[in-house]
Amino acid sequence: MNAPASHPPLSGTKLLLGTVALSLATFMNVLDTTIANVSIPAISGDLGVSSSQGTWVITSFAVANAIAVPLTGWLTQRFGQVRLFITSVLLFVLASLLCGLAPNLELLIAFRVLQGLVAGPMIPLSQALLLSSYPPVRSGMALAMWSMTTMVAPVIGPILGGWLSDNVSWPWIFYINVPFGLLAAWATWRIYQDRDSPTRQLPIDKIGLVLLVLWVGALQIMLDKGKELDWFNSGEIVALGLVALVSFVLFLVWELTEAHPVVDLSLFTRRNFVTGTLTLSVAYSLFFGGILIIPLWLQTQMGYTATLAGLTAAPVGILALLLSPVIGKLLPRLDARAIASVSFVVLATVSFMRAGFTTGADNFTVMLPQIVLGAGMATLFLPLTAILLSGLHPSRIPAASGLSNFCRITAGAFGASIATTVWEDRTTLHHAQLVEQITPFHPAATQARDGLLGAGLSPEQSLATLDRLVTGQAGVLAANEYFWLSGFLFLSLLALVWLARPQARAVAVGPGADH
């Protein structure tokens, strides 16, 4: 692979504006995932579909994005980093506009797929361009500045999404991207137009591309439709599983033997890349599943409006914003594995705090774990990104960033699907078990029924009220189980991250880095 032309680091106003422009594009990309979380009930209700169908608005974007992200390395060589980044941002703006105009769920999902596809190169390229803007000794701070935008988006996304859904209309969660995207594209072009990487004509690995789409798409559809179709009791699910498995095996064999692979799998021969990517993917899938369940639980079981659910979830970014610059300064001097270990302990603690929720939990009780979660985020992304990029030559950073983000985003989509499926299934199970206790011979059930009848409710109304109470209890029991499991899985990552080599305490992005 030809190395890109070496450009001197930016300084002064150009460095500041370049950082803001690239971070703004990342912000817009991440915002578009989180902003939809609290808006799913509004979208589902307006389009006349169930909440489980509405989650396709999130997962369709994530899957399409996951397919496109690993193509970043190949596309960069073909079109250049700056030109590809600008094109992706402008197409993202167009796709966002189409999402807002969608009259039904089918078209909305189609436009979300388009949005995810064109958004693929944005995050890895913004990361690569930002690293090239700073001297190697300040690479930790560059990553901190970049990752702060991924911290801001979860703060603003739920609030903005909830407020727009309640007070304007849900299409505005997509329209909001238009001014951000146009500003980011214009500013990036003004600063980076003379810093593009060299290009070369590469043959298109059509077979590898088709196999990539097949196995990622089939696996995601299987996960999303599994509960609805009773998993492997359905012939459709079995067929999807076989397609995913066979196409994945063929994809691996083809890409490892192809002269110009669409995805550079040789990166997985690097110990730190494998360790960092795997650890980040598992952690992100657990994290993403949790931030999806909380707003759904608050709105469907606890009676929260979309705005209040957004405000309750928003504090996740407070400590993340405050700590990210600190971690960025400390990262070159501390062991990245130790910083990541702190993150896993914090994330496990947050999960265990959530596992103690009850139907009587007040707003502060629900919000407190969100505040603590910010510290876990600040100590998660930075060190693990430093680990997986350590020792790489600048020419390989777009491909490595793209491939690691592919794994992370795909894991997040799987985490969302698995989390919602497990939560709904366990809610149904607990509901059935609790209903069995509501009999004329159970003192507590009889007392509750008599109290409702005494309050003036009819027998039918009293039974309906009892059913709502049981559903609320079943929902919180299911959520508790999910978060207990998440907590122990976060702790298990403590063993995994220490498999990385200790050289990962700084990101080597200079020309002398290992190829």
* Residue 77, both tokens: 């060589």
Per-residue burial over 274-309, b = 16 or more CB atoms within 10 Å of its CB, e = otherwise: bbbbbbbbbbbbbbbbbbbbbbbbbbbbbebbbbbb
Residue 5: partners with Cβ closer than 8 Å, 6 or more residues away: 197, 198
Report the candidate in 325, 307, 308, 301 with the shortest Cα–Cα distance to residue 469: 301
User: How far is Cα 396 from Cα 400, in angstroms, rounded to an integer?
Assistant: 6
* Residue 438, both tokens: 């509501």
HEC string of 155-202 equals HHHHHHHHHHHHHCCCCHHHHCHHHHHHHHHHHHHHHHCCCCCCCCCC
* Predicted pLDDT at 197: 67
Cα 417 to chain centroid, rounded: 12
Q: What three-state secondary structure class fits 78?
A: helix
Give the DSSP H/E element, type plus range, for residue 354: helix 336-354
User: How far is Cα 164 from Cα 173, in angstroms, rounded to an integer?
Assistant: 7
pLDDT tens, residue by residue, 38-55:
677 778 777 777 766 777
User: How far is Cα 296 from Cα 207, in angstroms, rounded to an integer?
Assistant: 39
Taking a C-beta distance cutoff of 8 angstroms, is the pair 299, 154 a contact?
A: no
At how many degrees (to 10) do helices 105-119 and 12-37 cross?
A: 150
* Residue 111, both tokens: 């436009």
pLDDT tens, residue by residue, 179-215:
888 998 998 888 887 777 666 676 777 788 888 888 8
Give the DSSP H/E element, type plus range, for residue 340: helix 336-354
HEC string of 419-430 equals HHHHHHHHHHHH
Residue 472: partners with Cβ closer than 8 Å, 6 or more residues away: 301, 302, 359
Report the candidate in 479, 474, 482, 481 with the shortest Cα–Cα distance to residue 435: 474
* Predicted pLDDT at 513: 45
Give the DSSP H/E element, type plus range, for residue 322: helix 318-330
Taking a C-beta distance cutoff of 8 angstroms, is the pair 74, 124 a contact?
A: no
* Residue 380, both tokens: 């998660």
Tokens 């491909």, residue located? 399
| Amino acid at position 243, single letter | V
Taking a C-beta distance cutoff of 8 angstroms, is the pair 310, 162 a contact?
A: yes
Low-confidence ranges of the chain (pLDDT < 50): 1-5, 504-515
| Amino acid at position 400, single letter | A
Taking a C-beta distance cutoff of 8 angstroms, is the pair 429, 477 a contact?
A: no
What is the greatest pairwise CA distance in the chain? 81
User: How far is Cα 279 from Cα 353, in angstroms, rounded to an integer?
Assistant: 22
Taking a C-beta distance cutoff of 8 angstroms, is the pair 216, 69 a contact?
A: no
Report the candidate in 256, 235, 239, 243 with the shortest Cα–Cα distance to residue 210: 243
